Each structure stands twice: as C-alpha cells, then as structure tokens.
C-alpha cells in the first residue's frame, strides 16, 4: 500500500460531497447483481498477507484511521457520565504527548455514535467541536418495531441534535426478494432524516448470501442512503472482508453509473490496528483516495481506538504499554 499527500494530510478540511439523491428502483440492475463467492473470498484472503506499511507510514495511516472512527457505545447500561467520558476521548483520542511527538495535534475521531436517549449528553459534551453525533434508530438492532414508530424515532433523534442516523433495514425484505418494499422503506427513512445523513445498516450476517448483500446495497443506494454499513455489531457475524468487498464494489458501480459517491462503514469485530490498516488498503485499492476521508468512510468501533493508541505509543517510544494506559474514558 503506497502513501501519498492526499491520504496522509489528516488535518485538511474535509470535502463535502453532494448528497446521493437516490434514483428510481431499477429492478433489472438489482437482479443482475451477482457475487462469485469463491473469487471474492480468494481476493479477500490476500489482503492481510501482502499489504504492509511500516514505521512513519504506518503511524500516518493509523492516524488516518482515527479520523474515520465512529466512537461507539451501545450498551443497555449506558449513562450520561459514560457518554461524556467517551466524548472526551473523541475530542482527545490519543495522549497529548504522543500526538505532539507525531506532530498531529488536533486529531479527533469521525463521530460519536449512541442510542437516542444519550444524544443530549453527547451533543453537550461535543459542543464547540466539529465532531457529529450519530444515533442508531429504527428499532435498532432488530428493526422489527412498527414502521410509523421507526420513522418517528428518526425524527425525534434529528430534533434532539443527531447529525447522522444509523438505521437498520428489514432483513425479511432481502430474504424474500421484496426489493420494492426495501426501497420504499429506505426512502421513508431518508425523508425522515431531513438534512441528517443516513447510514443504512444491512446486517449482512443475516442476509443469507453475498448476492443478497450486493442487491441490498444497490437498493439502499437507489433509495438515497448516504452510507451503507455492514452490521449493527449485535449479530453473530459482523464486518468481514468478503462482505466489505461486495459492498465496496456495489458503491463503485453506483458511482460509475450515477456520479454520486456513497460512503461505507464496516462495523462490529474490528478491534485491532492491523485490521484497520487492511480495511484502509481495501478502500484505497477498490475505491481510491477520495473514499479515505471521514465523510465517505467510517469504522464502527469502540475498542479499536485503544489498540491504535498503543501502536502509536510504541512507534514513539519503542515500548508497548498496557491497555489500561489508554482508557476509553
């Protein structure tokens, strides 16, 4: 994986893309989408074996990864205090002495992601920063509450101050091939978000096949999704490289046909710095440098940041520290 100025400059103001307006449901395009599972798995298997960056280059790429993290807490025992501590970590994701040594002062994460009830303390804690608050919605994680309640939940989260809404699709529409129903649902969610950006969570571990992942990705983008996201983090199988490859290539196909860029967010199970580097290399190779900015790429993660901070400390000091030296809050 080669580095260049565009990728490395993490402090540049982020370019804002025109939002994906969506398009009419093109069932011929959707039904023509296929996935060669064996070829996809072979391609994905090579990513961790032949891509490597070292020393200063690795540190720079890890700093880039931090800017793309949606720092997340989605636990039933969340409190305002926990969210406030997480937001403090979002504002200062790496110890100041490490950032000073790296000449990376001012580094922040991409967003903070919480449940609806925790939006207010997150907004308050992030006041004065450019870090957006993302809220999970639409009956997260199952998405099985009544549609009118899911739409109302979105509206209330936007009114509470969320700038991004992570919605969950109805998996049954994918499993039964009811693409019109999925399209209509996604359009309704997009409309309810208003100016807030919407990330469509496909829950790929529950869709049955990579072909279904490809088709669901296209339908959600046709309906106006700003991002497509792998998982809620609550499924038994979350983000994987084969699934990511399928979704990224659907994004590329959509861009080539429509001219609109849609973002990508792998979530669930990404906890090691080396995993972040693999995902970044995949994005760079398949989509290009433009998708390496946080307005088009995010990691949904909680523990990933701690491991990245450990690796950066090792780069600066030559020694590994215990994980407790890099708390989330």
Q: Of the segments 42-51, 175-184, 229-238, 301-310, which one has the largest average pLDDT value?
A: 175-184
Distance CA 179, CA 28 (A): 11
Whole-number pLDDT of residue 12: 40
Split at pLDDT 50, 70, 90, the class of 327 is confident
Whole-number pLDDT of residue 15: 54
Whole-number pLDDT of residue 14: 52
Average model confidence (pLDDT) across the chain = 93
Q: How far is CA 171 from CA 52, 143, 247, in A?
A: 36, 8, 16
Please write the tens of the pLDDT for every residue from 120-146. Answer: 999 999 999 999 999 999 999 999 999
Please state the rounded mean pLDDT for residues 50-75: 92
| pLDDT exceeds cutoff 70 at 151 | yes
| pLDDT exceeds cutoff 70 at 37 | yes
Would you kindly state where each structural domain of the chain is located, as residue ranges? Answer: 22-318
Contact 182, 216 (CB under 8 A): yes
Q: How far is CA 252 from CA 60, 90, 170, 257, 261, in A?
A: 26, 30, 24, 9, 8
- Token pair 């030296």 is found at 325
| pLDDT exceeds cutoff 60 at 208 | yes
| pLDDT exceeds cutoff 90 at 54 | no
Cβ within 8 Å of residue 43, ≥6 positions away = 245
Split at pLDDT 50, 70, 90, the class of 5 is very low
Whole-number pLDDT of residue 326: 72
Whole-number pLDDT of residue 281: 94
DSSP string, 180-247: HHHHHHHHHHHHHHTTSEEEEE--GGGSSSHHHHHHHHHHHHHTT-SEEE---S-SSS---HHHHHHH
CATH of span 22-318: 3.20.20.70
Cβ within 8 Å of residue 252, ≥6 positions away = 286, 287
Distance CA 294, CA 263 (A): 9
Whole-number pLDDT of residue 13: 41
Distance CA 65, CA 110 (A): 9
| Cα 276 to chain centroid, rounded | 12
Split at pLDDT 50, 70, 90, the class of 51 is low
Catalytic machinery residues: 166, 229, 265
Please state the rounded mean pLDDT for residues 45-64: 88
| pLDDT exceeds cutoff 60 at 95 | yes
Among 107-111, 145-149, 249-253, 316-320, which is the least confidently predicted range?
Answer: 316-320
| pLDDT exceeds cutoff 90 at 2 | no
The 10 Å Cβ neighbour count of residue 188 is 18
Among 143-152, 304-313, 316-325, which is the least confidently predicted range?
Answer: 316-325
């Amino acid at each position: 994986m080669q580095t260049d100025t565009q990728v490395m400059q993490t402090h540049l103001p982020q370019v804002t893309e025109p939002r994906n307006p969506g398009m009419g449901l093109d069932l011929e395009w959707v039904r023509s989408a296929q996935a060669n599972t064996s070829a996809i798995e072979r391609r994905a298997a090579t990513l961790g074996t032949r891509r490597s960056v070292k020393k200063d280059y690795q540190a720079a790429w890890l700093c880039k990864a931090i800017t793309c993290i949606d720092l997340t807490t989605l636990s039933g025992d969340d409190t305002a205090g926990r969210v406030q501590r997480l937001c403090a970590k979002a504002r200062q994701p790496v110890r100041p002495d490490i950032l000073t040594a790296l000449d990376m002062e001012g580094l922040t994460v991409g967003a903070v992601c919480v449940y609806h009830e925790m939006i207010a303390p997150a907004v308050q804690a992030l006041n004065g920063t450019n870090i957006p608050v993302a809220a999970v919605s639409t009956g997260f994680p199952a998405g099985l509450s009544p549609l009118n309640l899911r739409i109302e939940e979105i509206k209330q989260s936007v009114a509470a101050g969320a700038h991004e809404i992570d919605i969950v699709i109805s998996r049954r529409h994918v499993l039964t091939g009811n693409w019109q129903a999925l399209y209509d649902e996604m359009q309704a969610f997009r409309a309810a978000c208003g100016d807030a950006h919407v990330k469509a969570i496909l829950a790929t571990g529950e869709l049955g096949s990579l072909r279904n992942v490809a088709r669901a990705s296209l339908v959600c983008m046709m309906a106006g999704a700003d991002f497509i996201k792998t998982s809620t983090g609550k499924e038994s199988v979350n983000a994987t490289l084969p699934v990511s490859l399928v979704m990224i290539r659907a994004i590329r196909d959509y861009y080539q046909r429509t001219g609109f860029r849609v973002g990508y967010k792998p979530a669930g199970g990404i906890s090691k710095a080396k995993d972040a580097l693999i995902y970044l290399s995949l994005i760079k190779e398949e989509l290009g440098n433009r998708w390496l900015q946080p307005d088009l790429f995010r990691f949904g993660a909680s523990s990933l940041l701690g491991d990245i901070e450990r690796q950066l400390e090792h780069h600066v000091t030559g020694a590994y520290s215990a994980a407790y030296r890099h708390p989330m809050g």
